[in-house]
Amino acid sequence: MGATTVTHVTTINPSNTNIHGPVIDEVEGLIRVYKDGHVERYQLVPCVGPSLPLELGVSCSDVHIDKLTNVWARLYVPTLTKSSPVSSPNLPLLVYFHGGGFCVGSGSWSCYHEFLARLSASSRCIIMSVNYRLAPENPLPAAYEDGVNAILWIKKTRNDNLWSTLCDFTKIFLAGDSAGGNIAHHVAARLAAAADALIHPLKIEGTILIQPFFGGEARTESERRVENNMKGSVLTLAASDAWWRMALPRDANREHPYCKPVEIKKRTLVCVAEMDVLMDREMEMCDGNEEMIKRVVYRGVGHAFQILGKSQLAHVMTVEMLCHIDAFIHQCDSSV
């Protein structure tokens, strides 16, 4: 497959109020939606190409999944496992969905590029980071559909790519953080509901949900607590509500099924941040299903600490998270 050219142009123009009408929804510093449907996004995080340091031992490239919808993916393929060359076709495949409230974010954001490259190297897995369509231009379930189509693309092209010779397609994990965790969860549910023939011979082994984004009309204790201590999380309650307004189908509220977790039928790792407004919802989804769900709580850190946190504690917790994901993928740590 040829590499895709990724273009990100984001300009916030004060005169647009006159051109497009009043602003009807906004998350300050991230996105602005006008009455006529025009959307502007701030480039809060720089976008980078697929290059990586040679010493990391991971190769990277961008591929088209669907040119019609402009859905593409960034592939991370280990060239080394520890100190030995990769030589056998047994690497797990992790299909990753970035966060951003369904409305912002990119597989080319530098924070995701760095995090996923580290994860690929440390967990000895191939990673495909899916750049799905964003709301509000493409409200849910567009992102879920793109996730399913990404899996079908893997099935269709699995014999056409050099990286696929290293991959064990019976060990596929769906993963994501924040809104991406929600997408991974709902894509897994859609695939589970479909006939096995849909993705055969591929097999979804499990899901990895990092601070998955769920919601509801009633407030939880963690939503009230963190909202009163804004320094604990980059995700505020006001921003959370705005993301749902922009992402959900017209006239839907936060009781819509897209806001809720569904029954988990695959082995699942849920990574929870203690200082996250989403903590209670994530804890609740794990209750009563300990056989299937493994839950890890990262103390003293907030939402998206693993990609945006700059403190020493965030760094330490990120290293722990990478170890937990590695153990979960390779099923070698009973404490996770």
pLDDT single digits (tens) 1-52: 344 333 333 445 655 666 999 999 999 999 999 999 999 999 889 999 999 9
The pLDDT value recorded for residue 333 is 39
pLDDT digits (tens, 9 = 90+) for 105-114: 999 999 999 9
Comparing 288 with 103, the larger pLDDT belongs to 103
Residues 317-335 as b/e (b if ≥16 CB within 10 A, e otherwise) read: bbeebbebbbbbbeeeeee
What's 310's DSSP letter? -
User: Helical H runs in 132-178?
Assistant: 142-157
- CA-CA distance, 74 to 67, in Å (whole number)? 15
Annotated active-site positions, please? 178
- How much of the chain, in percent, has pLDDT values that exceed 90? 81
The pLDDT value recorded for residue 145 is 98
Residues paired with 58 in a beta bridge: 78
pLDDT band for position 155 (50/70/90)?
very high
- 3-state class of 291 per DSSP? coil
The pLDDT value recorded for residue 3 is 40
- CA-CA distance, 260 to 204, in Å (whole number)? 21
Residue 217: its H or E element: none
CATH of 45-330, one of 3.40.50.1820, 3.40.50.300, 1.10.1040.10, 3.10.180.10: 3.40.50.1820
pLDDT band for position 205 (50/70/90)?
very high
The pLDDT value recorded for residue 136 is 98
The pLDDT value recorded for residue 195 is 75
Positions of E strands within 23-147: 23-27, 31-34, 39-41, 58-66, 71-78, 80-81, 84-85, 91-97, 126-131
State mean pLDDT over 280-288.
95
Considering Cα of 323, then 329, then 330, then 336, what sign does the dihedral take?
positive
Kindly tell me if the per-residue pLDDT of 221 is higher than 90: yes
Comparing 185 with 265, the larger pLDDT belongs to 185
The pLDDT value recorded for residue 336 is 41
The pLDDT value recorded for residue 88 is 58
The pLDDT value recorded for residue 196 is 75
Give how far Cα 271 sits from Cα of 127, 181, 274, 298, Å. Answer: 18, 10, 10, 7
The pLDDT value recorded for residue 288 is 87
Residue 212: its H or E element: none
Kindly tell me if the per-residue pLDDT of 194 is higher than 90: no
pLDDT band for position 225 (50/70/90)?
confident
State mean pLDDT over 287-301.
94
CA-nearest of 104, 1, 133 to 62 is: 1
The mean-pLDDT minimum among 14-23, 50-59, 67-76, 206-215 falls in: 14-23
The pLDDT value recorded for residue 311 is 95
State mean pLDDT over 70-91.
76
Domain boundaries, the chain: 45-330
Positions of E strands within the chain: 23-27, 31-34, 39-41, 58-66, 71-78, 80-81, 84-85, 91-97, 126-131, 167-177, 204-210, 267-275, 293-302
The pLDDT value recorded for residue 334 is 43
- Mean per-residue pLDDT of the chain: 90
- CA-CA distance, 317 to 177, in Å (whole number)? 15
Kindly tell me if the per-residue pLDDT of 82 is higher than 60: no
